Amino acid sequence: MSRAVAQSRKLDAASSAAEATPEMVRGPSGLLGRIAMSAIAVAVGLVIVFAVLFVAILSLRNRSAEAARSQQVIATATQLQTLVIDLETGVRGFVITYDDRYLDPWRAGQEHYPAAIETLLRLTDSNRMQHARARSIKSAIDTYLRTYSRPLVDFLRRNPKEAPSVATSDRGRKQVETIRDRFARFLATEKALSAAGKDRARATARHALKVGGAGLGSALLLIFVGALYLDRAVARPLRLTAEAATRIAGGDFSGRLPTRGPGEVGQLERTFNAMAASLERTLADLAVRNRTLAESERVKSELVSNVSHELRTPLTSVLGFSALMLDRDLPPADTKRYLEVIRTEARRLAALLNDLLDLQRVEQHTLELRLEDVDLNDLLAAQMTLYSAQSEAHTLHFLAAGEPLVIRGDRNRLAQVVGNLLSNAIKYSPGGGEVEVGAGLIGEDVSVWVRDRGLGIPTDHQDRIFTKFFRGDVGREHGIAGTGLGLVLARQIIEAHGGEIGFHSEGGAGSTFWFRLPAAEQGDGRATVSERSLAAGDDSESGHRM
């Protein structure tokens, strides 16, 4: 079993090593790759969002600049118009009063006019029609100044008496009205343009706000999706792994992780599962070893106490009688009797030693069977003769089958089993009596039974009869010697032959022990002697079969 565990561990280690190949760790589906991919996706999304925002802000800025320029155009045109009126009113005042102070606004108007008209022309640069209108205004003003206003002032300075006749002329007023008409058209168009520009700016602002809101929402969504992905792909598996590790630290090795994580996370999950499985197996293995160790400790101490007890009785007899013979001069008859006792006790010691050695061989799987065709009629008859001589108080009856009972088995080991059953039947019938031995062919099996009318086995002891060193109370109460090993070995031997052993007993009413072995097949061509290893049975399994 431990070899199987070690092998499966090796396989685990090999598979874990195979799983942890560098390709997997550094592969394109690696954790780093996925984090980089999600970061790049979020970054690209953010760049797009900010580009759209930038374009929206730029267009808003253009619209605002357009609106501001329109306002500037209107202001400049209005200023120019005032300037033209100043030119006209200055000249008119001078014509009426001939007072040079009235020419101050006229001079100032001429001084500011070039810059103002330049500004207007520059501001209308981008609008072809308004630019043309501005130019026509300029040419009208220039014409007015060149052909009327300046020549008139020069003329009056030279001919002041002509003033009343000039004052009645409305040529200048007409020219100025024409200029004002042009201004009116220009300003109306510019105001319309300005209103439209404001509307567009407002619409663009609304649009920019919407784009900004959508961009902000998309950016937040992207960041949220990225964070969610990282949580699912990395944080959650790590959390689960940490929880499972905590459970393992608490002694629960049964939990396993789902192995769907990407790259290194999946690798971590698989390695974790392999580790948990290996720990679980190691723990189970240790528990089995612990039980085995505890059991073997118990058996050892039981063995020591049983063996020492079983050794003490014959050794006491051997020591006591040998001391008696050495210390005293005994008559030859007594000496012979004592030597007989010493030999019997020495035989008991030898039997105990043999049983212990057999038990050791069974437990180390080294007890071998030398198989041959054995007629159980002969084997039983020989054992009957042997054991009949052992007790005068008992009568042994053999109910022969009247047909050959050939089985394939180890003659000596089967003789050991029959001998143990006969010896028990005699031992546990201390008052003497009849022991009946029978055998027969039942179906494919040869069946053997040994019946006594002795002490029987109390019901509460019956399920432990085949347990190592179990002796029950009956034997001890009646001072019957034994080791509690005979039936254990008998069961191992019978089961190694492919048979079964069991008993039926009633406390105080005797016992019947039986065993069944498969009959040898007719014309069996197998070798007469072969070897077969005897497997150790589970001694803790103590139920009897009937």
Positions touching ligand ADP (CB under 6 A) are 420, 424-425, 428, 452, 454-457, 465, 470-472, 474-475, 482-488, 511
CB of 301 to ligand ADP, least distance (A): 18
Measured from the CB atom, is 90 or 472 closer to ligand ADP? Answer: 472
Shortest spacing between CB 442 and ligand ADP, in angstroms: 22
CA distances from 306 to 309, 408, 424, 471 (A): 5, 35, 18, 10
Residue with smaller CB distance to ligand ADP, 409 or 510: 510
H/E run at residue 526: none
> Looking at beta carbons only, is 34 or 451 nearer to ligand ADP?
451
Q: Residue written as tokens 């497997």?
A: 535
| Residue 385 identity (one-letter amino acid) | T
Q: Return the SS3 of 69.
A: helix
N-term to C-term CA, the chain: 31
Give the number of other CB atoms < 10 A from CB of residue 188. 10
> Shortest gap between Cβ of 370 and ligand ADP (angstroms)?
23
Map tokens 């498969």 to a residue. 518
Residue 150: Cβ-neighbour burial (10 angstroms; 0-12, 13-18, 19+): middle
Both tokens assigned to 136? 């026509």
Residue 55 φ/ψ, nearest 5 degrees: -60, -45
How many whole angstroms separate alpha carbon 43 and alpha carbon 55?
A: 18
Amino acid at position 47, single letter: V
Task: Break the chain down into helix, strand, coil percent, rounded to 5.
Answer: 70, 10, 20
CB of 326 to ligand ADP, least distance (A): 32
Nearer to ligand ADP, 45 or 454 (CB): 454
Task: Choose between 190 and 539: whose C-beta lies nearer to ligand ADP.
Answer: 539
Least CB distance to ligand ADP at residue 471 (A): 4
The distance of closest approach from Cβ of residue 481 to ligand ADP in the complex, given in angstroms and rounded to an integer, is 7
Residue among 285 and 363 whose Cβ is closer to ligand ADP:
363
The residue among 148 and 428 lying less far from ligand ADP, judged by its C-beta, is 428
Q: How far is the CB of 240 from ligand ADP (least distance, A)?
A: 56
Q: How far is CA 130 from CA 28, 200, 212, in A?
A: 63, 19, 35
The stretches of 98-149 forming alpha helices (DSSP H) are 104-123, 128-144
Cβ closer to ligand ADP: 340 or 506?
506
Tokens describing residue 157: 């300075």
Q: How far is the CB of 544 from ligand ADP (least distance, A)?
A: 10
Using the minimum distance from each CB to ligand ADP, give the nearer residue, 377 or 424.
424
Residue 211 or 422: which CB sits closer to ligand ADP? Answer: 422
Q: Do the Cβ atoms of 394 and 371 come closer than 8 Å?
A: no
Q: Please count the CA atoms within 13 angstroms of the CA of 199 that sit on its side-chain side.
A: 6
Cβ proximity of 54 and 62 under 8 Å? no
Which CB atom, from 372 or from 495, has the smaller least distance to ligand ADP? Answer: 495
Number of C-beta neighbours around residue 387 at 10 A: 20
Smallest gap from Cβ 428 to ligand ADP, in A, equals 3
414 exposure class (CB count in 10 Å sphere: 0-12, 13-18, 19+) = buried
Least distance in angstroms from the C-beta of 452 to ligand ADP: 5
The answer to whether 518 touches 444, Cβ cutoff 8 Å, is: yes
Apex 207 CA angle, 206 and 208, nearest 5: 90
154 vs 158: CA distance, rounded Å = 6
- What sign has the CA pseudo-torsion 10, 13, 19, 20? negative
Of 176 and 417, the one with the shorter C-beta distance to ligand ADP is 417
Residues in a beta bridge with 512: 451, 504
- CB 457, min distance to ligand ADP, A: 5
DSSP state string for 454-507: SS---GGGGGGTTSTT--HHHHHHTT----S-HHHHHHHHHHHTT-EEEEEE-T
CB 489, min distance to ligand ADP, A: 8
Cβ closest to ligand ADP, residue 253 vs residue 469:
469
| CA separation for the pair 303, 305 (Å, rounded) | 5
Coil vs helix vs strand at 434: strand
Q: Which residue is nearest to ligand ADP (CB)?
A: 482
